[in-house]
Amino acid sequence: MSKPTVAIVGRPNVGKSTIFNRIVGERISIVEDVAGVTRDRIYSAADWLSHDFNLIDTGGIDIGDEPFLVQIRLQAEIAIEEADVIIFLTNGREGVTDADEQVAKILYKTKKPVVLAVNKVDNPEMKDMIYDFYSLGFGDPYPISGAHGLGLGDLLDTVAENFPDPSEEEIEDDVIRFSLIGRPNVGKSSLVNALLGEDRVIVSDVAGTTTDAIDSSYEYEGQKFKIIDTAGMRKKGKVYENTEKYSVLRALKAIDRSDVVLIVINGEEGIREQDKRIAGYAEEAGKGILFVVNKWDALEKDEKTMNRFNEDIRKNFLFLDYAPIAYVSAKTKQRVRSLFDLIVNISENHSMRIQSSVLNEVIEDAIARNPAPTDKGKRLRIYYSTQVAVRPPAFVVFVNDTELMHFSYERFLRNRLRESFGFEGTPIRIITRARS
Ligand code: GDP
Ligand code: GDP
């Protein structure tokens, strides 16, 4: 279930972001586009042959005013912490430099697999450039060219061979995994403590595939939960833990491992840009979503306060109109327990299966009420629909011509499905296919 993570490390200018973009390809998401984060993308889903993984460009994580060498060492530490396999990138045209050796020194400390790549080997005659790099002590260097896309296949084959076996925790089907995501100080750790309560039936365990993440297991009214660890929730201490890029990275990783994501907003401060980005990522990743407005105790409230907050959230997260909103206080524990019920409900919706017969009835009924549009005299015809996936629910709709399915009609169908089946808290997908 959980995908392995690969990190690229190396000193500046060896070609990390070039390689990152090569491997990730054209996966620029709608949300990134809207939020304008494309240019500083450092984390993305990627795949090679049948392997899905997440890729991190550690070069994009800048760590305050630290000197150059400290920065690259910290980036190497982040790779060790966050990745299952590390690509150590060097520049063949410049040979082994002091900075490469500094990176190597940090990487010696890890047992995680490190694959050494020598970039800018732009043509086969330049292959001799790699020999120098044996001295770094990571075995055979892989010659590659980010500029020309050479050698990446062999490199990724080796990277994939080093992926860990899928861990057992991920096979447990009866566990609801959720994470609390939000900016520093919104109250994530306080909420976890309040959720777990005094009678902490808490087992901290080290997850297999995802490095050293500390997740908490909990059982509530017969339902098992796993609270996915995020950076803000563990003991602080490392220099880079307070940097924004790093905490975003941790949040995205936690989202990937969750069924349901609790987007925690500080009631005293309201919504910030970063909240929107992260929520957008959760939606794209197809996760169940719950808004949690915390510190509700600290607000001066009148009868309109909650409505204003509701409106504010709806206005800022237009694409998440299906996500419920809970108002809680980790401090007084007000309504904290109710979060469990909401999470269970969202999780059920997230994995809901609709019988084809029922589904088709609803769609036929929808068409009868609001006939499908025509375009240049041609009318969209919907023949048959079926659910093809859960988590999130995805529906394939077979039509005469996919071009005729306009965004607005798809939205209409989506709304009809929501009205008929609920789906509170979960995204749903509609895929249009031409019937052959
Ligand atoms: P980063 O700082 O490690 O992320 O490096 P960049 O990806 O920004 O690349 C640094 C420079 O090296 C850019 O000018 C790239 O165009 C160039 N570059 C990257 N890969 C190659 C390559 O395979 N061959 C050559 N000749 N130049 C490359
Ligand atoms: P995190 O960084 O998101 O994990 O936030 P913390 O749980 O460390 O909380 C940050 C600060 O907010 C701490 O001083 C908490 O005591 C305070 N805090 C957390 N939840 C609440 C709440 O519900 N009400 C009030 N008044 N303060 C809270």
Annotated binding site for GTP: 10-17, 57-61, 119-122, 182-189, 229-233, 294-297
Count the domains in the chain.
3
Query: In this prediction, what percent of the chain has a pLDDT beyond 90?
Result: 63
The rounded Å distance from CA 194 to ligand 2 centre is: 11
- Is 201 a residue whose pLDDT tops 60? no
Domain boundary among 315, 331, 350: 350
Two structure tokens written together for 332: 């007084």
- Is 207 a residue whose pLDDT tops 50? no
**Mean residue pLDDT across the chain:** 87
Substitution site in 185, 216, 263, 297 for ligand 2 pocket (most atoms within 8 Å of beta carbon): 185
Q: Of 18-27, 132-141, 167-176, 296-305, where does mean pLDDT reach its minimum? A: 167-176
Predicted confidence at residue 189, as pLDDT, reads 85
Q: Is 230 in the pocket of ligand 2 (CB under 6 A)?
A: no
- Asked if 285 and 334 sit in the same domain, the reply is yes
Q: Any residues with Cβ below 6 Å from ligand 1, and which? A: 10, 12-18, 59, 119-120, 122, 145-147
Domain residues for the domain of 307 are: 175-350
The tens digit of pLDDT for each residue in 305-329 reads 999 999 999 999 988 999 999 999 9
Predicted confidence at residue 167, as pLDDT, reads 61
Q: Residue 80 in contact with residue 109, Cβ under 8 Å?
A: yes
pTM check: above 0.95: no
Predicted confidence at residue 373, as pLDDT, reads 85
B/e letters for 407-426, b = 16+ CB within 10 Å, e = fewer, are: eebeebbbebbbebbebbbb
The tens digit of pLDDT for each residue in 124-155 reads 888 899 999 999 999 999 999 999 999 999 99
- Asked if 163 and 28 sit in the same domain, the reply is yes
- Is 203 a residue whose pLDDT tops 90? no
Predicted confidence at residue 154, as pLDDT, reads 96
Predicted confidence at residue 395, as pLDDT, reads 96
Predicted confidence at residue 405, as pLDDT, reads 92
- Asked if 298 and 192 sit in the same domain, the reply is yes
- Asked if 101 and 194 sit in the same domain, the reply is no
Q: Of 99-103, 202-206, 332-336, 394-398, where does mean pLDDT reach its minimum? A: 202-206
Q: Residue 182 in contact with residue 265, Cβ under 8 Å?
A: yes
Predicted confidence at residue 413, as pLDDT, reads 96
- Is 213 a residue whose pLDDT tops 70? no
- Asked if 37 and 104 sit in the same domain, the reply is yes
What's the Rg (C-alpha) of the chain?
24
- Asked if 20 and 110 sit in the same domain, the reply is yes
Domain boundary among 320, 350, 380: 350
Q: What is the mean pLDDT of residues 166-190?
A: 81
- Is 246 a residue whose pLDDT tops 90? no
The tens digit of pLDDT for each residue in 88-97 reads 999 999 999 9
Q: Residue 56 in contact with residue 83, Cβ under 8 Å?
A: yes
Predicted confidence at residue 278, as pLDDT, reads 86
Give residue 298's identity as a one-letter amino acid code: A
- Is 202 a residue whose pLDDT tops 60? no
Q: What is the mean pLDDT of residues 64-82?
A: 87
- Asked if 289 and 404 sit in the same domain, the reply is no
The rounded Å distance from CA 97 to ligand 1 centre is: 16
Substitution site in 179, 180, 181, 190 for ligand 2 pocket (most atoms within 8 Å of beta carbon): 190
Domain boundary among 316, 350, 384: 350
The rounded Å distance from CA 426 to ligand 2 centre is: 27
Distance from chain centroid for Cα 19: 20
Bigger pLDDT: 384 or 174?
A: 384
* Index of the ligand 1 atom closest to the CA of residue 14: 3
- Asked if 383 and 335 sit in the same domain, the reply is no
The domain spanning residue 430 has which CATH number?
A: 3.30.300.20
Does ipTM surpass 0.85 in this model? no
Question: How many CB atoms neighbour CB 316 within 10 A?
Answer: 16
Q: Which of 63-77, 175-189, 226-240 has the highest mean pLDDT?
A: 175-189
